[in-house]
Amino acid sequence: MLIQRIFASVLLLACAGLALMAWPYQAAFSYEPVGPRAFPLLMLGLMGSALLYMLFRPAPIKHSEDEPPLDRETLTKIGLCTVLLLVFAGAFEPLGFILASIVTGVPMARLYGGRWLPSTVIISLMAVGLYLLFDRLMDVPLPLGLLDVLEN
């Protein structure tokens, strides 16, 4: 329990330092309505509140038998998820948000036991829905990539 509290304390100090660094940031131009510093400050605030809970909670975190073991299969899935996220980051600009989400989301769903048809349909609908949410409702432009011909 002491190690968990030390870990939470060190990470909380890191969050505070990063928040101090992010607070004065002003970009020369802003293409988002809330500005470029809102997202890191929001993430650091959420992370800091979770770390405060870890620091002051009454009982240590106990692992149960329901948790998967950290064996070769679990580590392989973690590695493949990391590779898929790197593929998403690389495909984001050239393919656009929707296609990059589908290209990485369907294999991710299959990796965790999803069937082909439901995975493809659900990921496609989520990608289009999230694109519309960010681009149309929140005015946060996302690249369309290869689907640029559909715009206007």
> What is the number of residues in the chain?
152
Determine, yes or no, domain membership for 65: no
Answer yes or no: do 46 and 82 share one domain: no
What mean pLDDT is reported for the chain? Answer: 84
Mark whether 49 and 83 lie in a shared domain: no
- Look at residue 61 and tell me if it is in a domain: no
pLDDT of residue 90: 92
100 and 35 in a common domain:
no
* Orientation of helix 116-132 relative to helix 97-111, angle to 10°: 140
**Residue 90 belongs to what domain range?**
72-150
Which tokens belong to 145? Answer: 């990539």
| pTM confidence score | 0.60
Q: End-to-end CA distance of the chain: give it in Å, rounded.
A: 57
Pair of tokens at residue 149:
């011909």
pLDDT digits (tens, 9 = 90+) for 49-101: 988 988 888 776 666 666 666 788 888 998 999 999 999 999 988 999 999 99
How many domains are contained in the chain? 2
Quickly list H helices, the chain. 2-22, 38-56, 72-95, 97-111, 116-132
On whether both 103 and 135 belong to a single domain, the answer is yes
Same domain, 86 and 144: yes
The CA-CA-CA angle for residues 9, 11, 13, to 5°, reads: 70
In this structure, what are the phi and psi dihedrals at residue 32, rounded to the nearest 5 degrees? -115, 145
Indicate if 49 and 114 belong to the same structural domain: no
Is the same domain home to 146 and 76? yes
92 lies in the same domain as 133:
yes
103-150 pLDDT, tens digit per residue, is 999 999 999 899 999 999 999 999 999 998 888 887 777 888 877 777
Cβ(15)–Cβ(51) under 8 Å?
yes
* Angular region, 113: left φ>0, alpha ψ -120 to 50, beta rest: left
Note the pLDDT tens digit of each residue in 9-58: 999 999 999 888 888 777 666 566 666 667 788 888 899 998 898 888 87
